Structure 1
Amino acid sequence: MIFHHSRRVFLFGSLHARELDLRPDPELLYISAMFHDAGLSIPFSDTRQRFELDGADHARKFLLDRGFPESAAEVVWRAIALHTTPGIPGRMDPEVAATNYGVLTDAVGWGLDRLQGGQLDEIVAAHPRGDFKKEFLQAFVDGLEDRPDTTYGTVNADVLEHFVPGFRRTSMVERVMDAPWPR
């Protein structure tokens, strides 16, 4: 499921980039798309940081180990680290924006109306969605339920709040009020 999702993210991101006259490096966009959810899976999810950072760190190492320049690794790192952050990726590097657009299209249908029907059908035929909604959300639950504090300030808290009985997010107000300052 994650493989097909990641491939669709690359393809949708590429189409949106073309439509918006962005010019991402296709290889960096592909790597960003393929690694963007790696942090939800073992062995990449064994730290206590946001899953996006797990995937970003792994992709950076992957690129540097293969001789890519640090600047390329940093672009991919940003694309993955920010792919669930609303509003910011679209103002960054073309690879960062296109990865986010691809994720938004595949996960929540953003921009589907701007894609040509034949392209959409071809992508989904090659990379079927299956029971994507259910399986995708379950992958988030499985990847995050043992590290719920990493969901603070992200859309990921929404998934745990919906699916994990008893999960309750700590709000920003509670964090400020409970800070060790006298007032």
Structure 2
Amino acid sequence: MNEVAGLRVPTGRAAEAARLVCTEYADDALYHHSVRSYFFGAAWARARGLDFDSELLYVSALLHDMGLTAPFDSHRIAFEEAGGHLARVFTAGLGWPTERRDRAAEIIVLHMHDEVAPEVDVESRLLQEGTSADVTGTGLEEYDPEFARALVTAYPRLGFGASFVGLFRDQAERKPDCAAAGFFTRGAAERTLAHPLEQS
């Protein structure tokens, strides 16, 4: 489904290529999370009247967790950094200019770091908001409940919470200094498993 509550995914070569890569390498739960993260971010922007580059956000959202998949998992660097490198390679194949390729990588890396002000970098903030709402439920109360229900109907969670916690646990055990390790020290794993939409 390309539309939820009046919000649409972008069309075009880049968006379709990102979808193909995500569906080929991620399981359905991780793919659905990636799309939901885009929609949550887009809804957050709409509620605040923020303009953003939908293609850039969508491509970044679809690739942001590729570093958690076996073919792209790095034993040396954090998964979000590996995902950023993948985004640079992927978008080079699309012919994106260097600055735009760097932006995709930056958005992916920053989604695991401190909150970015939307007036400084709107797409990075939108991916942060989208992933936070979908993973731990942070900020979920700011969204229309009907929108959230429509989103999980279109892109079901499919046990995402448990599978995602497992992926992050693997990252934390192998790379204890990475941002994913902090997921467990601040109680985010418990919030993910208890996500209000997890039973939807």
Q: TM-score, normalised by structure 1?
A: 0.78
Give the Å deviation of 1:90.
Answer: 4.3
**Alignment CA distance shift 1:137-1:90 (3 Å):** farther
Partners of 1:47 and 1:54 within 8 A in 2: no
Aligned counterpart for 1:109 among listed residues 134, 137, 158:
137
Q: Deviations over 1:152-182 (max 9, x none)?
A: xx3x2134669xxxxxxxxxxxxxxxxxxxx
Return 5+ residue gaps in structure 1 as ranges. Answer: 163-183
Partner of 2:77: 49
CA distance in 1, matches of 2:118, 2:138: 13
Partners of 2:111 and 2:124 within 8 A in 1: yes
Matches within 5 A, 1:15-26: 15-26=43-54
CA distance in 1, matches of 2:68, 2:117: 20
Query: Max radius of gyration: which structure?
Result: 1
Matches within 5 A, 1:1-183: 1-88=29-116, 90=118, 92-149=120-177, 151=178, 154=179, 156-159=180-183
CA distance in 1, matches of 2:64, 2:119: 18
Instruction: Give the number of equivalent residue pairs.
Output: 158
Give the Å deviation of 1:5.
Answer: 0.6
Return 5+ residue gaps in structure 2 as ranges. Answer: 1-28, 187-200
Give the Å deviation of 1:130.
Answer: 2.8
Aligned residues: CA RMSD: 1.9
CA distance in 1, matches of 2:49, 2:118: 13
Partners of 1:79 and 1:89 within 8 A in 2: no
Moved over 6 A (4+): none
Query: What letter corresponds to residue 52 of structure 1 in structure 2?
Result: E
Query: What letter corresponds to residue 130 of structure 2 in structure 1?
Result: G
